[in-house]
A and B are shown apart, each in its own frame.
Chain A
Amino acid sequence: MQVTAKDSANLRLGSLEELEQLRSELKAAEDPNQTRIIVCHGTGCIANGSAGVTQALKDALAAAGEDIEVMPGIKTTGCHGFCSRGPLVIIKPKNIFYQQVKPKDAEEIVQKTIQAGETVERLLYEHPQTGEKIETTEDIPFYAGQQRVVLANIGQIDPTKIDDAMRAGAYAGVAKALTNMEPQQVIDAVINSGLRGRGGAGFPTGIKWNLAAKHQGGQKYVLCNADEGDPGAFMDRSVMEGDPHAVVEGMIIGGYAIGADTGYVYVRAEYPLAIKHLEKALVDARAYGLLGENILGSGFNFDIRINRGAGAFVCGEETALMRSVEGKVGEPVPRPPYPSDKGLFGKPSVLNNVETWANVSRILDKGADWFAGLGTEKSKGTKVFALVGKVNNVGLVEVPMGIKLREIVMEIGGGVPGSDHFKAVQTGGPSGGCLPWQDAELPVDFDSLIAAGSMMGSGGMIVMDDRDCMVDVAKYFLGFLEEESCGKCFPCRLGVPRLRETLNRFSKGEGTVQDIDDLYSLAEAIKAGSLCALGGTAPNAVLSTLRYFRDEYEAHILEHRCPAGVCKDLITYSIDPEVCTGCRACTRACPQDAISGEKKKPHTIDESLCIRCGMCFESCKFGAVQVQ
Chain B
Amino acid sequence: MAQTAIDIDIDEIIERYPGKPEYLIFLLQDIQEAFNYISAEALTLVCDHTGVPESQAYAVATFYNSFSLEPKGENIVHVCLGTACHLKGSGLIAENLMRKLGLDGPGTTEDLKYTVETVNCLGACALAPVALVNGDYQPKVTSPKLMKTVQKLGDE
Name A's B-contacting residues (CB within 8 A).
Answer: 43-44, 46-48, 83-84, 86, 228-234, 237, 268-271, 307-308, 310-313, 324-330, 345, 386, 388-390, 394-395, 426, 429, 460, 462, 464, 468, 476-477, 480, 483-484, 486, 589, 591, 613-615, 618-619
A47 touches B127 (CB 8 A): yes
* Residues of B contacting A324 in the complex (Cβ-Cβ under 8 angstroms): 25
Task: Look across to chain B and name the residue whose beta carbon is closest to the beta carbon of A43.
Answer: B124
Please indicate which of the listed interface residues B86, B121, B144 has the most CB atoms of chain A within 10 Å of its own CB: B121
* Residues of B contacting A325 in the complex (Cβ-Cβ under 8 angstroms): 22
CA distance A527 to B43 in the complex (A): 38
10 contacts between A and B (CB under 8 A): A231-B81, A231-B86, A233-B121, A269-B66, A313-B120, A480-B120, A614-B89, A615-B92, A615-B144, A618-B142
Name B's A-contacting residues (CB within 8 A).
Answer: 20-26, 28-29, 50, 52, 56, 59-60, 63-67, 81-84, 86-87, 89, 92, 95-96, 99-100, 119-128, 130, 137, 139, 142-144
A310 touches B64 (CB 8 A): yes
* B62 → chain A closest CB, angstroms: 9
Contact partner of A312 (CB less than 8 A), chosen from B65, B119, B144, is B65
B119 touches A270 (CB 8 A): yes
A328 touches B60 (CB 8 A): yes
* Residues of A contacting B130 in the complex (Cβ-Cβ under 8 angstroms): 47
* B139 → chain A closest CB, angstroms: 5
* Residues of A contacting B66 in the complex (Cβ-Cβ under 8 angstroms): 269, 310-311
* A276 → chain B closest CB, angstroms: 13
Known A310-B67, A613-B95; judge A426-B83 contact (CB<8 A): yes
* Residues of A contacting B52 in the complex (Cβ-Cβ under 8 angstroms): 327
* Residues of B contacting A464 in the complex (Cβ-Cβ under 8 angstroms): 87
* A188 → chain B closest CB, angstroms: 34
A614 touches B123 (CB 8 A): no
B123 touches A462 (CB 8 A): no
Task: Look across to chain A and name the residue whose beta carbon is closest to the beta carbon of B23.
Answer: A327
CA distance A43 to B56 in the complex (A): 36
B92 touches A468 (CB 8 A): no
B137 touches A310 (CB 8 A): no
Task: Look across to chain A and name the residue whose beta carbon is closest to the beta carbon of B28.
Answer: A310
CA distance A312 to B64 in the complex (A): 6
B121 touches A327 (CB 8 A): no
Please indicate which of the listed interface residues A234, A237, A327, A330 has the most CB atoms of chain B within 10 Å of its own CB: A327
* A97 → chain B closest CB, angstroms: 16
* Residues of B contacting A394 in the complex (Cβ-Cβ under 8 angstroms): 84, 125-126, 128
Known A230-B121, A388-B125; judge A47-B50 contact (CB<8 A): no
* Residues of B contacting A237 in the complex (Cβ-Cβ under 8 angstroms): 123
B59 touches A311 (CB 8 A): no
Task: Look across to chain A and name the residue whose beta carbon is closest to the beta carbon of B99.
Answer: A591
A389 touches B84 (CB 8 A): yes
Task: Look across to chain B and name the residue whose beta carbon is closest to the beta carbon of A236.
Answer: B123
* Residues of A contacting B23 in the complex (Cβ-Cβ under 8 angstroms): 327
The 10 closest A-B pairs by CB, nearest first: A83-B126, A311-B65, A47-B137, A234-B123, A310-B64, A231-B82, A232-B83, A311-B66, A231-B121, A388-B125
A327 touches B22 (CB 8 A): yes
User: What would 15 more interface pairs be, CB under 8 Å, given A232-B82, A237-B123, A308-B26?
Assistant: A47-B130, A47-B139, A231-B82, A310-B29, A310-B65, A311-B65, A327-B60, A388-B83, A388-B126, A388-B128, A426-B83, A589-B143, A613-B96, A614-B89, A618-B142
CA distance A619 to B92 in the complex (A): 13
A44 touches B124 (CB 8 A): yes
Task: Look across to chain B and name the residue whose beta carbon is closest to the beta carbon of A44.
Answer: B126
A591 touches B83 (CB 8 A): no
* Residues of B contacting A613 in the complex (Cβ-Cβ under 8 angstroms): 92, 95-96, 99
CA distance A47 to B138 in the complex (A): 7
CA distance A272 to B93 in the complex (A): 24
CA distance A84 to B83 in the complex (A): 16
* Residues of B contacting A307 in the complex (Cβ-Cβ under 8 angstroms): 25-26
CA distance A389 to B24 in the complex (A): 38
Contact partner of B143 (CB less than 8 A), chosen from A233, A313, A483, A615, is A615
* Residues of A contacting B25 in the complex (Cβ-Cβ under 8 angstroms): 307, 310, 324, 327
* Residues of B contacting A271 in the complex (Cβ-Cβ under 8 angstroms): 123
* Residues of B contacting A619 in the complex (Cβ-Cβ under 8 angstroms): 143-144
B84 touches A328 (CB 8 A): no
* Residues of B contacting A46 in the complex (Cβ-Cβ under 8 angstroms): 137
* Residues of A contacting B82 in the complex (Cβ-Cβ under 8 angstroms): 231-232
* Residues of B contacting A395 in the complex (Cβ-Cβ under 8 angstroms): 126
* Residues of B contacting A47 in the complex (Cβ-Cβ under 8 angstroms): 124, 127, 130, 137, 139
Contact partner of A308 (CB less than 8 A), chosen from B29, B99, B127, is B29
CA distance A618 to B97 in the complex (A): 14
A615 touches B96 (CB 8 A): yes
Task: Look across to chain B and name the residue whose beta carbon is closest to the beta carbon of A331.
Answer: B63
CA distance A378 to B43 in the complex (A): 50
Task: Look across to chain A and name the residue whose beta carbon is closest to the beta carbon of B123.
Answer: A234
* Residues of A contacting B86 in the complex (Cβ-Cβ under 8 angstroms): 231, 476
B64 touches A234 (CB 8 A): no
Please indicate which of the listed interface residues B67, B89, B127 has the most CB atoms of chain A within 10 Å of its own CB: B127
Task: Look across to chain A and name the residue whose beta carbon is closest to the beta carbon of B62.
Answer: A329
CA distance A308 to B24 in the complex (A): 12
A618 touches B144 (CB 8 A): yes
* B35 → chain A closest CB, angstroms: 16
* B117 → chain A closest CB, angstroms: 10
A269 touches B29 (CB 8 A): yes
* B29 → chain A closest CB, angstroms: 6
* A278 → chain B closest CB, angstroms: 15
Task: Look across to chain A and name the residue whose beta carbon is closest to the beta carbon of B100.
Answer: A591
Please indicate which of the listed interface residues A310, A328, A389, A395 has the most CB atoms of chain B within 10 Å of its own CB: A310
Contact partner of A234 (CB less than 8 A), chosen from B125, B143, B144, is B125
* B33 → chain A closest CB, angstroms: 10
A232 touches B124 (CB 8 A): no
* A487 → chain B closest CB, angstroms: 9
* Residues of A contacting B128 in the complex (Cβ-Cβ under 8 angstroms): 388, 394
CA distance A229 to B66 in the complex (A): 14
CA distance A256 to B134 in the complex (A): 42
CA distance A480 to B137 in the complex (A): 22
Known A591-B100, A614-B92; judge A484-B126 contact (CB<8 A): no
B124 touches A228 (CB 8 A): no
Task: Look across to chain A and name the residue whose beta carbon is closest to the beta carbon of B50.
Answer: A327
* B51 → chain A closest CB, angstroms: 11
* B84 → chain A closest CB, angstroms: 4
CA distance A388 to B139 in the complex (A): 14
Contact partner of B125 (CB less than 8 A), chosen from A311, A386, A484, A486, is A386
Task: Look across to chain A and name the residue whose beta carbon is closest to the beta carbon of B142.
Answer: A618
* B85 → chain A closest CB, angstroms: 8
